[in-house]
Amino acid sequence: MNFPTHRFYEDVLALFCAGVLVSFGVVLFGTHNLLTGGTAGIAIIGTHLVDMSFGLLFFLVNIPFYYIAWTQLSKRFAINTFISVSLVSVMTEQVQHLINIESIHPIFASVAGGMLIGVGLLIMFRHKSSLGGLGILALYLQNKFNIRAGNFGLLVDSVILTSSMFIFSIDLVFLSVIGAITMNLLIAVNHKPGRYQAYIESKKTKSIHKDATLEEKLLGVVE
């Protein structure tokens, strides 16, 4: 995985901020019982089928995918993803006790929730992490076969949300689709293969050119 390296404290701060954003996005979805895709969507649907909280289900659903992260991506990615999933699992349960949203338009909840989750995921991707599950698979396919994570996520989320039509009302599924599209378009536009590496190479090239120019000037002064 070609990402810029970060210091440990930078990863901790970034993953905490990402966890807050994602958790708040899930809470916005929860104000109108909206659904989302990926393992988070599976966990939300699961709360309607079994007597378990979202946080616990979300944590359990992600466990099998850590093997792919550990063996196919990187150990650091697997550890960071475990941290992110744990943070979101805990924060989602706690944020509901810290924020009381009395009224919010369903479309705004859908779009804003999708944006918050999308930005949170972008931060996680930037710091070698994800929300686990299908996010791990999406990043693996992007790095292995150059398939954009956002496009793959949009396809999988469409399947999950379409399947949810057999359980939930059409209005609820429609609003959930708006949120999923917002989230995945945000990721597809901003998270492209090689973008970060190209940026690093560009900075290195500029730095080398700058050093060479400075050396030429110094040599001219000496002569």
DSSP calls for 145-182: H---HHHHHHHHHHHHHHHGGGTS-HHHHHHHHHHHHH
- The pLDDT assigned to 1 comes to 45
CA count, 13 A, side-chain hemisphere, 93: 13
Query: Mean pLDDT per segment of 10 residues, for the chain of length 223 residues?
Result: 63 88 87 76 77 80 80 82 84 80 87 91 83 75 74 75 76 83 80 53 51 47 45
- CA 220, CA 204: separation in Å to the nearest integer? 24
Q: In 3D, which of 113, 99, 104, 126 has the Cα closest to residue 11?
A: 126
- The pLDDT assigned to 108 comes to 92
Q: pTM here?
A: 0.71
Token pair recorded at residue 185: 């378009």
Let me know: does 62 contact 39? Beta carbons within 8 Å.
Answer: yes
- The pLDDT assigned to 5 comes to 66
Q: In 3D, which of 86, 149, 119 has the Cα closest to residue 18?
A: 119
Q: 134-145 and 149-163 are packed helices; what angle lies between their axes, rounded to 10 degrees?
A: 140
- The pLDDT assigned to 200 comes to 45
- The pLDDT assigned to 32 comes to 83
